[in-house]
């Protein structure tokens, strides 16, 4: 257990948790009760993570991408966490650079600005010029951060063991979340992974029939200088999108809004590989008027089946179709627990009814997505973790575009794309290939069906057809019956011992028979006492 390791750090964690809320710490240590809160209030949880340091801030940022696990109040509070820490001195950065680069620093770079333009918990970024004159962004890992993260990962797993004792920890499978976080954190230490993501996004966005690919920019990676601890990429000169002075140019703001929606909808619904953190700091307005997408450290993936379900979910939300929303949610679910479909449909109908008389332009689309995930959570439906990234991406995108262009109408933006999305799902990128594949499937079905029908009829007539039925919910009844049978058997055994001891005692004429009688009475008393204690401990005396 983590309390036996890294003593100075775990003592600091305990002090932080105690300082921010003794009641919650007591709940953890005692296992919690159903009528007590299973998590600290949102503000307390945020304070705990901030006090614990940058690694735990990243944990909070990860949790903010899981609206399938946490309510809107937690998501909103944790989304405000900022990964900003004091920069490392240039001397330490220079030592690491010289170890990582294949050639001397002076031969590789003409100039390097020793003051970082940004500093986070994992790395900091400097502006530099290559020996050939190209401007680059130089992202360098903080020296020693790998040892710190290894230590904190052990502590996080220990904390997960404690939280797993609460009702929330068991319901949310907190150990799996801790495992997911530790893997994501370890992956962030390898900058070649982020470089690969950046290249893939750059290739995907370089082609589109929804927008002009020349208007969207993803930085080029300089692979010959990139290592696990150093990332060198093209320098993009601009300002954060919300800081761009376009207040008087309504047409330009509308063009940029449309460009962003179409670029991200292509990532989500066409490519299945999307930038999962489009907050204002990662969307830049360049001096030449183009839009740049920065920081590809957090990316999401969707398989074709999930893309299809989410596309249909878009249409169901537009139509305010509660029944279809419920069906699609169950298709997304990876939970094996039985679900009451009628209750799920009723919850969706109650939620969507709020929007019946509301104009589409006034509906907050990301809020609807969050409410759908909330209802799924309330109905004990466990959705894949990428649904959290999907919802957070849409929420961030809608928030940025509404701040940049308050007149934006999300449904007007996506309406021209929905028809194309359904056409693509129906026919694929190559209609001829899709038709040929369908024809082959029909041919295969037509050849196999007569043989399968003949086999079915043969089994029916020969009485060899067997049905395998699996009835859920009988395990509890079986255990109850087993317990009852065991207790009845013990009761009969105790009664028999008492009767036997009584008969022997009444006719005992020797010391040996008296001794046997005493032994039988003792055994009966012990077994009877054990049976009574067992019944009392089960809580089913009544």
Alpha-carbon distance values, 85 to 53, 113, 117, 142, 440 (Å):
9, 19, 12, 11, 59
Burial call 288-316: b when 16+ CB within 10 Å, e when fewer: eebbbbbbbbbbbebeeebbbbbbbbbeb
List Cβ<8 Å contacts ≥24 apart for 249-253. Answer: 250/407, 252/289, 253/404, 253/405
Cα 106 to Cα 243: distance, rounded to the nearest angstrom? 35
Cα 280 to Cα 239: distance, rounded to the nearest angstrom? 10
Cα 256 to Cα 216: distance, rounded to the nearest angstrom? 10
Q: Quickly tell me which residue has 């962003």 as its tokens.
A: 260
Confirm if 51 and 16 have CB atoms less than 8 A apart. yes
User: What is the number of other CB atoms lying within 10 angstroms of the CB of residue 287?
Assistant: 10
Confirm if 401 and 259 have CB atoms less than 8 A apart. no
Which of 152, 277, 295, 321 is catalytic? The answer is 277
User: What is the number of other CB atoms lying within 10 angstroms of the CB of residue 456?
Assistant: 11
Q: Can you spell out the DSSP letters for 294-355?
A: ---SSEEE--HHHHHHHHHHHHHHHTT-HHHHHHHHHHH----S---HHHHHHHHHHHHGGG
* Burial classification of residue 318, based on how many CB atoms lie within 10 Å of its CB (0-12 exposed, 13-18 middle, 19 or more buried): middle
Q: Is 420 a catalytic residue?
A: no
C-alpha angle 346-348-349 in degrees, rounded to nearest 5: 65
Q: Mind telling me the catalytic residues?
A: 277
């Amino acid at each position: 257990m983590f309390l036996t390791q890294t003593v100075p750090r775990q003592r600091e964690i305990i002090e932080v948790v105690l300082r921010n809320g003794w009641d919650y710490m007591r709940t953890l240590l005692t296992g919690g009760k159903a009528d007590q809160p299973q998590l600290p209030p949102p503000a307390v949880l945020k304070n705990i993570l901030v006090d614990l340091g940058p690694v735990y801030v990243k944990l909070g940022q990860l949790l903010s991408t899981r609206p399938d696990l946490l309510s809107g109040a937690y998501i909103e509070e944790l989304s405000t966490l900022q990964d900003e820490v004091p920069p490392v001195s240039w001397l330490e950065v220079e030592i690491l650079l010289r170890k990582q680069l294949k050639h001397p620093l002076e031969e590789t770079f003409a100039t390097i600005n020793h003051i970082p333009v940004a500093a986070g918990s994992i790395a900091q970024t400097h502006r530099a010029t290559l020996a050939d004159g190209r401007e680059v962004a130089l992202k360098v890992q903080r020296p020693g951060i790998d040892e710190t993260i290894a230590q904190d990962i052990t502590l996080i797993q220990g904390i997960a063991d404690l939280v797993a004792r609460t009702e929330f920890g068991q319901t949310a499978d907190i150990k799996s979340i801790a495992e997911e976080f530790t893997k994501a954190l370890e992956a962030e230490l390898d900058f070649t992974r982020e470089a690969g993501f950046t290249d893939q996004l750059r290739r995907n966005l370089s082609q589109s029939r929804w927008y002009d690919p020349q208007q969207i920019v993803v930085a080029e990676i300089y692979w010959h200088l990139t290592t696990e601890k150093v990332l060198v990429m093209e320098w993009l000169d601009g300002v954060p999108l919300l800081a761009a002075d376009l207040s008087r140019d309504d047409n330009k703001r509308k063009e940029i809004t449309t460009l962003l929606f179409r670029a991200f909808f292509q990532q989500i619904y066409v490519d299945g590989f999307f930038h999962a953190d489009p907050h204002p700091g990662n969307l830049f307005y360049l001096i030449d008027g183009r839009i740049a997408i920065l920081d590809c450290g957090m990316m999401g993936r969707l398989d074709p089946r999930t893309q299809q379900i989410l596309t249909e979910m878009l249409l169901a939300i537009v139509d305010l179709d509660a029944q279809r929303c419920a069906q699609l949610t169950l298709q997304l679910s990876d939970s094996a627990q039985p679900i009451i479909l009628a209750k799920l449909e009723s919850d969706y109908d109650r939620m969507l009814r709020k929007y019946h008389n509301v104009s589409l332009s006034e509906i907050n689309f990301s809020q609807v997505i969050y409410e759908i995930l909330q209802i799924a959570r309330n109905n004990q439906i466990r959705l894949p973790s990428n649904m959290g990234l999907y919802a957070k991406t849409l929420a961030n995108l809608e928030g940025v575009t509404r701040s940049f262009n308050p007149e934006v109408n999300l449904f007007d933006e996506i309406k021209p794309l929905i028809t194309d999305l359904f056409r693509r799902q129906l026919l694929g990128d190559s209609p001829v290939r899709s038709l040929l594949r369908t024809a082959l499937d029909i041919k295969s079905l037509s050849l196999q069906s007569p043989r399968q029908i003949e086999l079915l009829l043969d089994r029916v007539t020969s009485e060899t057809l067997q049905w395998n039925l699996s009835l859920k919910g009988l395990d509890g009844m079986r255990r109850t019956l087993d317990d009852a049978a065991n207790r009845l058997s013990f009761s009969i055994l105790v009664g028999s011992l008492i009767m036997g001891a009584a008969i022997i005692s009444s006719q005992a004429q020797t010391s040996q028979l008296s001794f046997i009688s005493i032994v039988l009475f003792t055994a009966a008393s012990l077994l009877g006492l054990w049976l009574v204690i067992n019944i009392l401990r089960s809580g089913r005396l009544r």
